[in-house]
Structure 1
Amino acid sequence: MVLTSLEKMIGLQKKPASIRNICILAHVDHGKTTLADCLISSNGIISNRLAGKVQL
């Protein structure tokens, strides 16, 4: 069974032990969104191909 990104995120949100909160602070245009997308893609929520191109 293949899960969509939305299904994966919903499944993770239902398990409090799986939730991690982070804060990324940086100056404008220093790659905050790209870093966040790379972290999300490294966990399989979005594809590596989409990291840096979509905003979640």
Structure 2
Amino acid sequence: MNKDQVKGSIKQAAGKVQQKVGEAVGSEKQQAKGAAKRVEGTVQKGIGNAKENR
């Protein structure tokens, strides 16, 4: 597992938490930020996977 995979996984988890907090407090802005962070994490993890499989 390389650093992009690790960072991507962390961003995915942080985004999920942020999204759930946004839902809990009724903040669409926080939900959107969380969703964006999850996507960013997914992309970064995918880059890490591609590097790993070269």
More helix by share: 2
Q: Do both share a fold (TM > 0.5)?
A: no
Larger RCO, structures 1/2 (Cα 8 Å, 6+ apart): 2
TM-score, normalised with respect to structure 1:
0.31
TM-score, normalised with respect to structure 2:
0.32
